[in-house]
Amino acid sequence: MNLILLGYPGSGKGTQSKSLSSKLGLIHLSTGDIFRDEIGKKTSLGMQVADYLAGGRLVPDKLVLEVIKSRLEKEDKGVLFDGFPRTVEQAEGLDGYFESKNKKLDAVIFIQLDENEVVGRLNSRRSCLKCGRIYNLVTNPPKTENTCDGCGDKLVMRGDDKPEVVRKRLMVFRDLTEPLIAYYKTNGMFFEINGNSSPEAITEAIITLLKNKIIKA
């Protein structure tokens, strides 16, 4: 099974990706993680990505696809994509890759949230810059105030989680994602899940959807 998980910033997409990949036995592929890994290993692709990021530029679709395809060549299990694709061009490239390998994409799941809820969630989000763990002061608070459960480092509010910045991020997200959603709706594999539930309830809702719509088919 190959899945794509989409959602607004703050929708819990990262949490769901890790939970679902574990429960379904899928490889969790996050573009951010892959970029960091390739850069850390100083691969040719990684160095190209690093050049774009260092200059504050978006990594071009063609290069993103090359990085993703390179990683897919190393995997022999189903994949859950987190943070990819972001554009229709990337989606078309992924479809072409799967077709060339006699594989297919099974479902695209979008975690739906009201934009005001997104702003509220991100305003309550705190991050550990040392180990990367993310908390929410309302739904998933740390055991000790402002302290990471994992490494004990201080938790901070990222600058891009402030309300005025979040609304700008949402505008960019809509501009990029609406054409992508339209693309996937044409092939009957696009599904929406209500994100106004606990992380555990959302995970179970997605698994139930997959069992009813994909596995039985």
**What are the phi and psi torsion angles at 120 (to 5°)?**
-65, -40
- Per-residue pLDDT tens digits for 77-115: 899 999 899 999 999 999 999 999 999 999 999 999 988
Per the domain annotation, does 141 fall within a domain? yes
How far out from the chain centre does Cα 21 lie?
12
Residues annotated as catalytic are 13, 86, 125, 158, 169
What's the pLDDT at 188?
A: 84
What's 97's domain CATH number?
A: 3.40.50.300
- Per-residue pLDDT tens digits for 197-212: 888 999 999 999 999 8
Distance (Å) of CA 32 to CA 29, 41, 102, 189, 192 = 9, 14, 27, 25, 24
- Per-residue pLDDT tens digits for 143-163: 999 999 999 999 999 888 888
Distance (Å) of CA 203 to CA 17, 24, 31, 78, 92 = 9, 11, 21, 18, 27
Per the domain annotation, does 72 fall within a domain? no
Residue 33 pLDDT grade (very low, low, confident, very high; cuts 50, 70, 90): confident
186 near 108, Cβ under 8 Å?
A: no
Tokens of 7: 């959602």
Per the domain annotation, does 17 fall within a domain? yes
What's the pLDDT at 216?
A: 56
Distance (Å) of CA 163 to CA 117, 146, 173 = 11, 20, 15
Per the domain annotation, does 90 fall within a domain? yes
Please count the structural domains in the chain. 1
What's the pLDDT at 138?
A: 84
When pLDDT is averaged across residues 36-60 and rounded to a whole number, the result is: 89
Structural domain for 198, as ranges: 3-26+77-215
Per the domain annotation, does 124 fall within a domain? yes
Per the domain annotation, does 51 fall within a domain? no
Percent of the chain with pLDDT over 90: 62
Per the domain annotation, does 165 fall within a domain? yes
- Rounded to two decimals, what is the model's pTM? 0.82
Per the domain annotation, does 193 fall within a domain? yes
3 near 26, Cβ under 8 Å?
A: yes
Average pLDDT across the chain, whole number = 91
